[in-house]
Amino acid sequence: MRRREDFITARIKEYWQGVFGWRDGEPMPSLEDHFTQIDLAANSGHTLGHSYGPKKLRAIRRMTIHRVFKLLDEHSNLVPSLDEFFSSLIEHFDLTVVTTNWDILAERCLERRGRFKYLIGERYLSGRPDLMAGISILKLHGSANWGYCECCRNLITPELGLGKIAINFQLLLEPDDFRLFPGGEDVARDIEGVDLRRCPVCGGRWSVRVATFSYRKDLSVAAFQAIWDEALSSLRQANRWLFVGYSMPQADIEIRHLLKTAQLARMDPDQLSIEVVLKDCPAASENYRRFFGLPEQALFQKGLDDWISNRLSTFSLR
């Protein structure tokens, strides 16, 4: 596994060096640029420079998502304050979580408080359809906790407990991706020796579909549409929105439009209360001010821990 991960690291660095002139010790290219350059070239059948054709670019894309999932997996410990945060919200509100995060921190908290559901008509690993009730978690960009069958097009999630399906089942590792690069044959053979990728519903091959940081996100997966429709409906009906740690980047044009639509699709948009919790990010704060016309007091800059200590109890009473 070490050899495989080192190989992936080397290929990502090579891509940065060749495409962005990156050097060791210099700031890394942004994830937006990393993915957008891949998507714009690969999706139109072009090469990026002399070295990267569409196949290689897609390989780099899969390897990078795998790497991000691995990093999320290594930093997925439950934050105690987050637990308190969700407990209080569940107690006082009819909660729906709308998130762009691939990680499963919210799921871990809600699992301890009862149950949650993804509302994607997901299947479990055993093949049974999901009939769980609970708090909705709407993951607009997909999840590290879902597999997607390319054949029957079901989303598949663990039945009991939470695991990172994409990592545990090596869903983003294609042997042929590794063969595109010198020295990749050995790694490809290692991966072929462990074939975990049989869909529990139809026996077909399953993989991962997530929306990346690209300006050209692929949101065409049918399940994403259902999630987005549900998010619009939930946001439209809610009287209060609380944003936590989301910078609302310009690249998220679809989400910005979703939010604007849901905000204005009510008799009196002024009745909607919006609060934003950020951590020392004036640029994100400015995003919210300019997009929603929020007053200074609706924007918190000291992070979630501070907000929980100083604001959560008042917030829950309103």
The contact set with Zn ion (CB under 5 A) reads 149, 151-152, 199, 201-202, 204
Least distance (Å) between residue 114 CB and Zn ion: 30
Nearer CB in complex with Zn ion: 100/207: 207
Q: How far is the CB of 125 from Zn ion (least distance, A)?
A: 12
- Of 155 and 187, nearer to Zn ion (C-beta) is 155
Minimum CB distance to Zn ion, residue 17 (Å):
39
CB of 256 to Zn ion, least distance (A): 34
**CB contact set of 12 (below 8 Å; sequence gap of 6+):** 60, 63, 64, 67
Minimum distance between the CB of residue 300 and Zn ion, rounded to whole angstroms? 44
And the tokens for 179? 């063969």
Q: In what order do the strands lie in the sheet with 206-207?
A: 123-124, 155-157, 147-149, 206-207
CA angle, 173 then 212 then 174, to 5°: 10
Answer left, alpha or beta for residue 94, where phi above 0 means left and psi between -120 and 50 means alpha.
Answer: beta
Beta strands 299-300 and 273-277: pairing type? parallel
Residue 157 CB, nearest approach to Zn ion (Å): 13
Tokens of 154: 């079901």
CB-wise, 156 or 238, nearer to Zn ion?
Answer: 156
How far is Cα 178 from Cα 189, in angstroms, rounded to an integer?
A: 9
| Least separation in angstroms between CB 196 and Zn ion | 14
Residue 79 or 202 with smaller CB distance to Zn ion: 202
By beta-carbon proximity to Zn ion, the closer residue of 149 and 210 is 149
Of residues 303, 219, 227, 288, the one with CA closest to residue 256: 288
Q: Which is nearer to Zn ion, 202 or 281 (by Cβ)?
A: 202
Q: Find the shortest distance in angstroms from Cβ 278 to Zn ion.
A: 40
Residue 243 Ramachandran class (φ > 0 left, ψ -120 to 50 alpha, else beta) = beta
Instruction: Compare residues 199 and 227 and give the one whose CB is closer to Zn ion.
Output: 199
Q: How far is CA 114 from the centre of its chain?
A: 23
Helix (H) or strand (E) holding 56: helix 54-74
Strand partners, 182: none
Which of 155, 172 has the CB closer to Zn ion? 155
Which stretches within 103-240 are classed as H helix?
Answer: 105-112, 165-168, 175-179, 185-192, 222-237
Q: Is 234 helix (H, G, I), strand (E, B) or coil?
A: helix
